[in-house]
Structure 1
Amino acid sequence: MIKPKLHFLLLLTIVISLLVPITFLHAQEYVMPENEGATEVTMYKADTVVIDSIISNDVVLIPHDLLELGKTTSVGIATHYSDYTKIYSLPVSYTLWSKLKLEVTIPYVYREIKNKWTDVTSKANGLGDIKTGAAYLYSFSKDFDSITSIAITFPTGDAEKKVVDEASFSSTLIPLGNGSRSYSISQSFSYSLPDSPLRLYGSALGIMYENATINSNELDRGNVYGALAGFEYTWEFIKGFVKINYIDVKESKIQLSGTTSWMELNDSVKASDVIVGALYRVYSIIALKASVSIPVYTQYDKDLTDTPDRKLYVNFSVTSFL
């Protein structure tokens, strides 16, 4: 006959074995903001909207290059390279009336997330969210102009991608897509000093996301706002530039399947980087560009006590003008 104490231990073991998987299941329904690599998921998502607007600033640079060179079409390959996220993209654009640029960008995402508690790094890669958009260049004078850009991303990437670690019997969510459409608008201004190779520019960005259903849970992703200011200096075929940006990612919320309440994800982040780089033109038809971004400010969600460090990242691109 089993003693009462053994009955209690047996019952306790059964309860724990049932509760642990349930707790684990809920923890994997979203990206844990404390994990290394999670900040890059929050900031860069699975598309190129933030990168194009307030990092590489191609939203401003490409229309100016097309107008300056008298070209209508650009085709390129771009790479965003950071510790845990690599986004390789194929941007294609066509310009009408020398003013209106239509574009499509196809990204391929390689992503890693390192679990803070198990120290296990999970990896996934695949097609990201395709972006389509348009940008209109308006000249106030020969030295001063503005560019208004709008873009829509489509949920072509796998937002429910999970990687199973057989050693620890755990799975990690590594989103390769946002799971819903996003809508963005950016406004840029550019001023070239008269009879000078120096040009100043600034941009502002806003992104709104539709709610997404991921693994039967509803995700209300926080909006993103950003700004960039900088200058470039031209020496014949080389342009050097220095920029500083600011990004404000609002907190997301999730409603787990079978519940009626919303849970905050503590994934808000405010960050600023200094970006230094150069562009080199080859025979006026090819542009090679490289830049390094140095984090100078990061503020995580107030409810996080242990946060990962942000490190420098680089961007490379090769663009052909036709």
Structure 2
Amino acid sequence: MPAKRFTVLDLIDIDLKEHNSLNLRCIGGRKGLNRVIAIPDINRPGLALSGFYDAFAHERIQIFGRGEVAYLKKLADEGKTETIVQMFSYPIPCCIFTYNQTPDRNFFEIAEAAQCPILQTDLPSSEFSSRLLRILSNIFAPQKSVHGVLVEVFGLGILILGDSGVGKSEAALELIERGHRLVADDVVEIRCMNGNILMGSGANKIIGHHMEIRGLGIINITHLFGVGAIRDKKQIQLVVVLEEWNSEKMYDRLGTQEQTMEILGVQVPKLEIPVKPGRNIPIIIETAAMNERLKKMGYFSAKEFNQNILKWIESDSARSVYFGQEDFI
């Protein structure tokens, strides 16, 4: 289930644009718009309309395409409404008619009596189904909120974490000044898509692209830097943890040991960056982003450096043994 109760009315009112728009409108059964959608899947009720209700997926949204509507017309012409009455005896979330199709009067009356919402869209069945499944997958995806900043650096989604006051927002502001983009500040909402992709966005669209800078206050990134400096959402591909410099802690100086952080069951590469006066954190984060992109391309700088050192040691040892032989003289 999503974080909050998701109803048919929420599905109609969801803010979607362009290739994601569902173009839904209610044409009947308005009293049932508060019905809960509990399953992120759809069903084509062809078998149910023919009278076969074994394993009927009534908890799913029911999609009526041209084939189902043609069969409904056949039932109406024959005066057979028993299977329709039986279908609406189940707690169906809603029925959606594609291609701007409209059911007959008997269907409307039965649906109204059952208080089941009847929706209509102008989209073809296949296109509407793919859009709806994509949207439901996003809504029902596992999610959590974290305190941090999400930025896009060189095309890589970087989640900046750390204690309050360590300088997360200031580092992100410098990155934006250097041409990178802000996704969310302070509260980042993370969703796990398809079981292995973490998508991050702002928890609130109204305040999502604002930043709080201590001593300066709230600033609007869109107004200051333009729409090119923001993104609505981005996949999280690297976690950077900022922490106060601890002289007693041993920090990784080679980078051969890869660290990860588990978020919603997904392992994400993690870097711990100590903060102290004189360290340029934004440039370090930029370099980390470029280095991570190289890793994804199969080039691991630290491991290559380590292998070169080992080769050099081995060749030097071999040279010493060779020159140390008595017969060489």
TM range (shorter): under 0.3
Higher RCO by CA contacts (8 Å cutoff, separation 6 or greater)? 1
Compute the TM-score of the two structures, normalised by the length of structure 2.
0.21
Give the structure with the larger helix fraction. Answer: 2
Larger strand fraction of residues: 1
TM-score (norm 1): 0.21
Could you say which structure has the larger radius of gyration?
Answer: 2
